[in-house]
Structure 1
Amino acid sequence: MPLFPPTDASPSTRTEELRSFLFLAVVMAPVLAVVSVAGYGFAVWVYQMFAGPPGG
């Protein structure tokens, strides 16, 4: 019995790979960058609510 049975899906084409790359580069990378910076800013804001502003 084969470990990976054959499927009807064809191997990815160059067009599909290009579309996937463009989606990751143009959409997901900026979204992840904005979300990570916003998350860090939110974490600092919450920390300063409890610990007070720096030097204060």
Structure 2
Amino acid sequence: MRSETIEHGRKKREVFTFLILAVLIWPFIAVGVVAGWGFIIWMYYLFTGPPGPV
């Protein structure tokens, strides 16, 4: 009986951790990666000029 309650509590913690990761943390990481990539491209064009024939 005791091992079932421990297992149930562990499963609840795992679901809670998954929801925190899936709903709060990963969206911020994804937005940060895309924004960072855009910033890198913007700085690259600032120093090298736009692509294409001049």
TM bracket (short chain): 0.7 to 0.9
Measure, in 1, the Cα distance between the counterparts of 2:49 and 2:27. 31
- Name structure 1 gaps, 5 residues minimum: 1-9
Measure, in 2, the Cα distance between the counterparts of 1:31 and 1:14. 25
Aligned equivalent of 1:40, options 26, 37, 51: 37
Measure, in 1, the Cα distance between the counterparts of 2:50 and 2:20. 40
1:7-27 CA deviation, whole Å, 9 max, x = no partner?
xxx886111111100011111
TM-score (ref. length: structure 2):
0.75
Number of aligned residues: 47
RMSD of the alignment, in Å? 1.9
Measure, in 2, the Cα distance between the counterparts of 1:54 and 1:33. 26
- Name structure 2 gaps, 5 residues minimum: 1-5
Q: Which aligned runs of 4 or more in structure 1 are off by greater than 6 angstroms?
A: none
Counterpart of 2:3 in structure 1 is none
Q: What is the percent sequence identity of the aligned residues?
A: 45
Deviation at 1:54, TM superposition (A): 1.2
